[in-house]
Structure 1
Amino acid sequence: MTEYVELHCHSHFSLLDGASSPEALVAQAQELGLSALALTDHDAVYGAIPFVEAAKASGIQPILGAELTLADGAHLTLLVENEIGWANLCTLITRARHHADKGEAALPLEALESHTTGLIALSGCRQGHIPAALLRGDTAAAQTWARHYRDRFGPDNFWIELQHHLRPDDDGLVADLADLAQVFELGIVTTNNVHYAQPDDHRLQDVLTGIRHHATLDEAAGWLRPNAEYHLKSAARMARRFPAWPQALTNTRRIADRCQFELRYGLQDLPAFPTPDGLSALDYLAQLCDAALQNRSGDGDRARQQLDAELRVIAQGHLADYFLIVWDIVRFAREQHILCQGRGSAANSLVAYLLGISPVDPLQHDLVFERFLSSERGLAPDIDVDFDAARREEVIQYIYTRYGHQHAAMACTYVTFRARSALRDVGKTLGLPLDMLGQIATQVDTRDGYADELPDNATGALLSELCQAIDGFPRHLGIHNGAFILTRQPISTRMPVEPATMPDRYVVQWDKDALERAGLVKIDILGLRMLSAIAEARETVGTLTGTTPDLNTLTFDDPAIYAMISGGDTVGVFQVESRAQ
C-alpha cells in the first residue's frame, strides 16, 4: 500500500479556523495508520508543545511548520527540516506578526531572502500564489511565482502542493499544477489542507468561521468551505483521489524523512549578566553572597556549608546568570523605593536570602533548599517576585530597557471559550436572537453547563452540542500578568514573538504551561495591591509621625500578629484572608 502522511494540518491553534485540538488530530492520525503528521497552523506555533507530546506518546513522527500569510494575503506552507529551519520559521512568523495588526500577520516577501535554510516550502492552498494564478487563468503569473519560489528555496526544497476537495474545478487545477511542476522540474506532493479531525467536525469549523467574521452562517456563506472534505484521510482514500499521481503520495513520506527536527527542551541561554573585573557570573554571584553572609546570617559554619552546596547546584544548572538577573531587578526596585518581595519556594534558598530576593532566612526556619532547586529533579527554578502594583510598570520598563525587546518578552495566555462566551458567540453565528442569548447566559452555571437553560428543540440541541465542542478552544491571545522570558540570542530564534494589545508589549507564542513543559526558565514580575497598600500606609505613618517605618526591621515573632490570625481577624490580609488562600 502506498504510504502517505499529512503535511498540511491546522489545529484549533489556527485561531477561529481549525476545529480540532492537536491531541484529537494525533489520535485520528493514529487511527488512520499515518506514521507522521505535520502541524501547520496559521502564522503560529502555539500548539507545538502539546502536539509534539501527543504525537510521541502515540508513536507518530511530529513535523512542525506553519502556513504563513504573506503581505499580499497569499499563503505559503513551510515545514521545519532542522534546527536552523526552526530558527528561521520563528523569525519569519515574528516578522509577519510585527508587520500587521494584533492577531494578524503579513510577511514581506523579501523577508524570505535570508531565512529559507532548513525549511521545505509547499506551494499552498488555493490562496497560494501559484494555485490562485492558475484559478484566474493567469498561467504566466503562475510560472513567474514557480520560478521565484524555486530560486528562493532551491529545487529540492520547493514542492508543488496538490489538493482535491471535490470542488468543481479541482480536477483542472490539480492537472495544471502537475503540468507546471513538470515544466519547472519540481516535485509534487499531495495534502488535504486539514482543518478538523473527522467529517462531522465541519459544522464546528463553519461556526468558527462565522465567529471570526462576526457573521451568521448565512452572512458568512462566501467564507465557508463548500463541503466536509477537509478532514484527515487515510492513504487509501488519498490514493483514490489522485490516481494519476501516485508519486505525490510517496513524496509525502520522502519529505517526512527529511524533517528530523526535534524541539529543544531545557534552559535557554540567558543574557550574560555584566560583571566587574572580568569575573564569571558564578564568581560574581559567590562574591555577592559572601559579602552578605556576615550581615544577614548569624549561623557561620552552617551557613558557609549551605551556601557552598547551593552554589554547586546553581553551577551545575548553569543558573548563575538567572540569579544575578533577578537580584538586579530587585536591586533596581529597592533603589527606586518600590516595595518588592520574593515569595514561594525561593524562600528555601540561602542564596535568594543573601541577595535580598527573599526576606526569610532558611537556616533559621529549617527550610529545605531542594524544595526550590535540586539537581536530581532537573526542574527550572521559579522565583516569583511581588512588586507594588502601582509601580510595577517601572520595573517592566527597566527590564525592556536593560535587555531590549529582542531579548525580553512576556508569556502569552490563551483566552478560551467558556460556557457563557461560547453560548453568545455560537448562538449569534446560528442567527439566534441576541436578547434570548443574553437571558440564557445570565442563567448559565459555568460549572455545570447550560443544557437545562436551552430550548428543548433541535436548535437547542445543536447549540448545546456546538458549545460543548468549542468549550476550552483558544479564542484569542492575551498577555500573562508577569511571566518574563529573557534570552541571550534574539528570542525570535527560539520561539516566535508577536505584539500584545498593550502598546510596546510583546509576547512569545507559548503560554506559561508550555514554557514550563519545555524547561524554559521565566521570571515572574507580579503586581500586588497589598504592597501598594503597605506603601501608602508607610507614607501616611511617616507624614503623621515624622518617622517612616523601616519594614526591613520587622520580625516574624510579634505575638499581637499571631493573636490576630488565631482569632480569624484577617479580612484584607493577603494570603491568609480565607481558607481558599
Structure 2
Amino acid sequence: MYINVHSQYSLRYGTMSIPALVEEAVGYGVTQMVLTDINNSTGIMEFMRECEAKQVKPIAGLEFRRDKQLLYFGIAQNKEGMKELNDFLSEHNLQKKPLPDEAPPFKNAFIVYPYPNEKTLSDNEYLGIRYDQLNSLFNVDLSTVKSKLLALQPVVVADKIEYRLHEYLRGIDLNVVLTEVTASDKCRPSDMFLPPGQLEAKFSRYAFILDNTRNLMNRCVMDYPKGRVNLNRRTFTGNKKNDRELLEKLALSGMEYRYGKSNKEAQKRIRHELKVIYELDFCAYFLITWDIIRYSNSQGYYHVGRGSGANSIVAYCLKITDVDPIELNLYFERFLNAQRTSPPDFDIDYSWDEREDVQDYIFKRYGSQHTALLGTMSTFKDRSIIREIGKVMGLPKAEIDGFTDQTRAAINQNNDTFRKIVAIHERMANMPNQRSIHAGGVLITEEPITYYTALDLPPKGMATVQWDMYEAENIGFDKYDILSQRGIGHIKVAVQLIEGNQQRKIDIHQVKTFMKDPAINANLRVGNTKGCFYIESPAMIQLNRKLGCDSYLVLVAASSIIRPGVASSGMMGEYIKRHHNPKDVKYLHPVMKEQLEETYGVMVYQEDVIKICIHFAGMDGTDADILRRGMSGKWRSEQEMNRIKQSFFTGSKRLERPDDIAAEVWRQVSSFAGYSFSKAHSASFAVESYQSLYLKTYFPREFMVAVLNNYGGFYQGNRLVYVQELQSAGGIVHLPCVNNSDSAVNISGVDVYLGFIGIHGLNGVYIELIPEERKTNGPYQNLEDFIKRTAIGLEQVIILIRVGALRFTGKSKKELLWAVHLLMGAKAKPNNDAELFQLETKNYSLPVLVNTRLENAYHELELLGFPLSMTMFELLQTDYRGEIGANDLINHIGQVVRMVGLYVCEKTVHTKNSQRMWFGNFLDVEGNAFDTVHFPNNTPMYPFRGAGCYLILGKVVAEFGFASLEVLKFAKLPILPNPVIS
C-alpha cells in the first residue's frame, strides 16, 4: 500500500539503502510497494532484485521535483511504463529544460499529484491524499474524484533517529545550518512504514481510497527479464552468422599482418580463441571494438589497447592491442572464459584531446537511444563528512579544522561535539552523495537504454546512465572502456613536432625495433627516463636501476612489481635478488617452481596469483576469478574476501600442503588484494614506455616540448624538471615573447619559446589572441602597436612586461612599465578602433632604468613558477654546493655526507607501526637526481618545507648497486631577498 517510497538514491534525502529498505518493508508485513526516488531511477533494478529475493512485489516509479519542490510522481504499469517515465526525465535532463507543472499523458504509467490539486485529471492521473488530510473531505461531493483518490503514505526514513539524520542530509544539501532547514525542505517525522493494519485503520472511513490504491498497484507488473541476461548490442552486422564469418576473416587477415602467412602456432591459437568467442557470444563485442579502432585509425588517432584484453591474439590481429600474446606466453582464458564472474572489457586509451571525438563517433554510429556513458556514485568521504556535519551544526571554521586535523586525534576523542559528529558520520559514511561520470565506460545496448535508467547530462555533455559499473554488470551490460591519458598525448605531439621541426616522419609503431635498440635500453638501465610514460617516477627509475633493466621482458615485470601489492608483501626486493642470482633461487614449494619459474617463484602478475590458488590450493576457476577482481580493487564486500580465504585454506589442507607454507603463500596472495596488474596490462604499459623512450632517446627536445604541452606526467607539479631536461638535451629555452611564442611551448631548431598558457594570471583570451593576431597581421612593432592591436588591458600588459614577453622592444622592464603607464594612464583598456592617421607617441627623456637578473628571477618565480634568468642554486644566499654530487654517492657507501639538493618531489608512506616516513627526490647543482629516505624519528624534527634547495646531512646507503641518502638532518636554505620594484 506504499506508493511513494524513497531510498538513499533520493540523494541527501532518503536514509535507507535498497537492501535495508526492503528488509524494513518485510518487517512491517509489506507485500508490494513502489520505489519513487527523486528525479532518478538509479535503484530500480536493484530494488526489483531485492524484492524478488524477499517475496515482495516490486513496482517501479519516479518522483519528479523542480527546485526541490514536489510536482508529482509516476508509477510504471510495466517495463514500457518505466521507459516512458525515464524518457520524460531524460528529455528534460538532456535538453536542460525544467520539468513542467503537469506531466504529459503516459500510456503505460500512472501520475499521482499531491492532494489538493485543481487540475482536471485524465484517465491515468490520480491524487495522493495523506491520512491527516482526510478531514478536508468531510461534507464534500466526491463523485468527481472518488475513483481518483489514492492513499499517500510516503516512506523516507526508518525511525526517529534516521529522521534526525535526514535533517542533517537536508542541511548539507541546502548548505544551511540545521535550524534553517524548514518544514518544506524535509519530510515529515511520520514518513515511514507504519505498523501492520495502522494505515488501513487511518483510512477506514474512506475504504474506497484503499481499494483504489490496491487496485492500481495490482495492475502493475514489472515484466523485466529475471536473472543474469545479456542486454548488450547482440550483433554488429545484424546477423550472428555474418558476425562470426566477419570476425574470422578479420582475425586471419590480421594474422598475416602480424605474423606472416604461415605461422601455425598463431593460426592454432586464433582458431581456439574464435571458438571460445563464438560459444560465449562475444563476436559483436570484438567487432564493435574493432570498429571503434578502425574509426580512430582513419582519423590518425593513436591508441593503446591494454588490460587483460591484450591476452587475446584475436585482439592483437584486429589491432585492438599491440602486445604479442605468443611472445609473452599470455593465456586467453585470463580475458575470456566460462568461469568469469564478470564480463571482460577492453581498455582503450586515447590522447586526452581525441577521446571525445571517438566517443562522439560511438554515439552517432550506434544511436543515441542505445548508447550512453557509464555513471559512478560518489559517497560521503570521511573528512568531507566531518566538515559538512560541522557546518550544518553551525560550528566555526577553526573548530571544524581542528576536528579534521589528524594530529589532534587524541584530543578530539574527548570532545563531546566531536563524538556527536562521529556518531552521525558512522550512519552517513557509505551513503551515496552525488552521481558522477565513470572514467571512460560506454554502454551500447540492444534495447533503448531508457528501459533500465533515466539519463543525466554531466558537464561532459554526453548522455550518462544513473548507475555505476557494478549495477551495469548486475543488470546485464558490458562496458567499452574508452579512456584517455596524457602519455599518449606526449607521443602524438612529439611525432608531430619532429615532422615539423626536423621534417622526419616517425613510425611510432615499430616497437619491436625499439626494444632491441642498445641506446634506448641503455637509457632505460640508467634511468634517463623523465617524461616517459610510467617509467619516469623516482620509484620506477630506482627500481629499473636496481634491476639493471635493459629489456622489454624485464620492464614488463618491473611495471607490475612496482605496484603496492607486490611491494607490500616484501616480494619486490626478493624478485630483484632472484633476478640477479637465478641459480640460487629456493622455491617455497614445488608448485611455485612449476607455475612461477618465469618470475623466480615470485607472484608478480594477477595471473600468477590465480595459478597458485588453483594449483596450490585447488580452488576452482570461479573463485579464482573473484580473487582476480579483488586484486583489481573490486571487492564488493569483506565477507567475499573472507570466503575466498576460507576456500584457500580448506583446499590447501585437502591437498596436504604444510600449514606454515600455506600461511606464507596466503600472505603473499592477500597482499595483492588491492593493487596488482595482469601481465598483459604490464606488457601494454611497457610498449608505451618504449615508444616514449625511443622519442626521448633520439628526439629529446621535441619530446620534452610535447611533455610540457600535454600538462601530464609525474613532474607536472614541478615543471622546472622538464625544462631542465630540455636544456640538458641542447634546447635553448626562452622566456615567453609576444613575437615568438604561441599559446603552447613551441620549438624551431634548438630554440624553444615558452607558451603564454604557462603565465600565471594571463587571461585566456590573450593566450590565444596574441599569437593569432601576430600570424594574421605580422610581428608587433613596438609597445604601442601591441596594445592597439590586441586591445589588452593595463593589468594584463603589466604581467607580460614583468615576465619579459615585450623584450623585443629593446627596452628594460622598468622603461616599459613607465611607458605603458604614460601611454594608458589609468585606463583599464585602450581603444583599438582603426585610425585614419597614426600619430607618433611623445617620447620622454628617462634616466637609465635597468633590471637585475635577481629581479627577473623573482618575476619568473611568481609568473612561471620557476626562474630562467638564474638557477635555483644561483638564488641561494650561500655559495656552498655540498661535499659530493649525485653521481659520486656510490663511492661513499656507509659515510655521512653533506649534499645540497633542489627539491623535486616527496612521497609519504606508512610503516608497519602506522608511523609516517618519507622518500624525497632532489637534483644536485649539475642537474643529476638523487633519492633520500626520511625515517619517522628524524623527519618531524626536520620537515619538508616545499620547493627550494635543501642542505642535507645523511648516511649513504646502497641496495642492489643503487645509492641513496638516509637523512639525519636537513633544512631549507634561504635565498637572496627580493629587491622590491617601486
**TM-score, normalising length from structure 2?**
0.50
Alignment partner for residue 238 of structure 1, among 164, 174, 199? Answer: 199
1:89 aligned onto 2:85: yes
Deviations 1:47-86 (A, max 9, x none): 2243333333333332221112379965222222222122
- 1:72–1:106 contact (8 Å) kept in structure 2: no
What SS is found at the alignment partner of 1:16?
Answer: coil
1:294 maps to 2:273: no
> Would the alpha carbon gap of residues 307 and 576 (structure 1) be closer, same or farther in structure 2, given more than 3 Å must change?
closer
Distance 2:423 2:347 in 1: 41
Write the deviation string for residues 287-337 of structure 1: whole angstroms up to 9, x where unpaired: 222322222245644444443443344344544333222112222323333
Structure 1 residues 422 and 17: CA distance shift in structure 2, 3 A: same
Deviation at 1:499, TM superposition (A): 1.0
CA drift of 1:545 comes to 6.9
Larger deviation, residues 252-261 vs 194-203:
252-261
- Unaligned runs of at least 5 residues, structure 1: 134-140
Aligned to 2:42: 46
Report the alpha carbon displacement of residue 203 of structure 1 after superposing the two structures with TM: 0.7
Measured after TM superposition, the shift of residue 543 of structure 1 is 6.9
Aligned to 1:470: 428
Q: Deviations over 1:62-115 (max 9, x none)?
A: 2221112379965222222222122212212212323547xxx614746x23xx
TM-fit CA distance, 1:527:
0.9
Contact 2:403 2:418 in 1 (8 A): no
Q: Tell me what 2:245 maps to.
A: 283
1:506 and 2:463 aligned? yes
Conservation of the 8 A alpha-carbon contact between 1:55 and 1:61: yes
Q: Tell me, what secondary structure is at the counterpart of 1:342?
A: strand
Alpha-carbon distance in structure 1 between the residues aligned to 2:68 and 2:470: 34
CA distance 1:188–1:463, shift in 2 (3 Å) = same
Q: CA deviation at 1:355?
A: 0.7
Q: Distance in 1 between matches of 2:446 and 2:305?
A: 24
Q: Does 1:456 align with 2:429?
A: no
Letter in 2 for 1:506: A
Partners in 1 of 2:412 and 2:68 — Cα distance? 45
Tell me which residue corresponds to 1:148: 121
The residue that corresponds to 2:99 in the other structure is 106
Change beyond 3 A, Cα 1:251–1:376: farther
| Count of paired positions | 535
Match of 2:563 in 1: 579
Partner residue in 1 for 2:397: 434
1:271–1:401 distance in 2 versus 1, CA, 3 Å: farther
Distance 1:74 1:228, change over 3 A: closer
Return closer, same or farther for 1:252/1:235 CA change in 2, 3 Å cut-off: farther
Residue in 2 that maps onto 1:162 = 129
Within 5 Å, give how 1:398-547 maps onto structure 2. 398-443=361-406, 453=412, 456-457=415-416, 459-502=417-460, 504-538=461-495, 547=504
Distance 1:248 1:529 in 2: 62
1:17 aligns with 2:13: yes
Residues 258 and 302 (structure 1), Cα distance of their counterparts in 2 relative to 1, 3 Å cut: farther
Corresponding residue of 2:510 = 553
- Equivalences for residues 159-308 of structure 1 within 5 A: 159-164=126-131, 170-173=133-136, 175=137, 182-186=143-147, 188-225=149-186, 227-249=188-210, 252-264=213-225, 266-270=229-233, 273=236, 280-297=242-259, 300-308=263-271
Q: Distance in 2 between matches of 1:544 and 1:159?
A: 72
The one-letter code of the counterpart of 1:242 is F
How far 1:536 moved relative to its partner? 4.4
CA-based RMSD of the aligned residues comes to 3.6
CA contact (8 A) 2:6 2:36 kept: yes
| Secondary structure in 1 matching 2:419 | helix
Counterpart for residue 333 of structure 1: 296
Residue 396 of structure 1 deviates from its aligned partner by 2.6
Confirm or deny that 1:34 pairs with 2:7: no
Q: SS of the counterpart of 2:482?
A: strand
Amino acid aligned to 1:478: S
Name structure 2 gaps, 5 residues minimum: 530-534, 541-557, 565-675, 677-982
Amino acid at match of 2:255: L
Q: Which residue of 2 aligns with 1:60?
A: 56
- CA displacement at 1:15 relative to structure 2: 1.3
Q: Distance in 2 between matches of 1:226 and 1:321?
A: 48
Q: Equivalents in 1 of 2:278, 2:509: separation in Å?
A: 30
Q: Is the 8 A contact 1:6 1:38 kept in 2?
A: yes
User: Is the 8 Å Cα contact of residues 194 and 230 (structure 1) preserved in structure 2?
Assistant: yes
Offset, 1:351 = 2.0
Structure 1 residues 484, 218: closer, same or farther in 2, change over 3 A?
same
Greater Cα radius of gyration, structure 1 or 2: 2
Residue equivalent to 1:118: 108
Do the aligned partners of residues 575 and 247 (structure 1) sit closer, same or farther apart at CA in structure 2, a change above 3 Å counting? farther
What one-letter code is carried by the residue in structure 2 that aligns with 1:37?
M
Are the structure 2 counterparts of residues 182 and 427 from structure 1 closer, same or farther at C-alpha, using a change threshold of 3 Å? farther
3-state DSSP class of the match of 1:192?
coil
- Aligned to 1:385, the other structure's residue is in SS state strand
Say whether the 8 Å CA contact 2:80–2:108 is kept in structure 1: yes
| Cα displacement (A) at 1:234 | 2.6
When the two structures are superposed, what TM-score results if normalisation uses the length of structure 1? 0.81
Q: Distance in 2 between matches of 1:364 and 1:437?
A: 57
**Quick one: distance in 1 between partners of 2:54 and 2:183?**
38
2: CA distance, partners of 1:238 / 1:384: 52
Match of 1:344 in 2: 307
Task: Name the SS of the counterpart of 2:354 in structure 1.
Answer: helix
Cα 1:180–1:347, aligned 2, differ >3 Å: closer, same or farther? farther
Contact 1:95–1:107 (Cα < 8 Å) also in 2? no
Partner Cα separation in structure 1 for residue 102 and residue 148 of structure 2 = 22
Structure 1 262/319 Cα, relative in aligned 2: closer, same or farther at 3 Å? same
Kindly state the Cα deviation for residue 201 of structure 1 after the two structures are TM-superposed.
0.7
Equivalent pair of 1:70/1:76 in contact (CA under 8 Å): no
Give the 3-state SS of the residue equivalent to 1:223 in structure 2.
helix
Q: How many Å apart are 1:515 and its aligned residue? A: 0.8
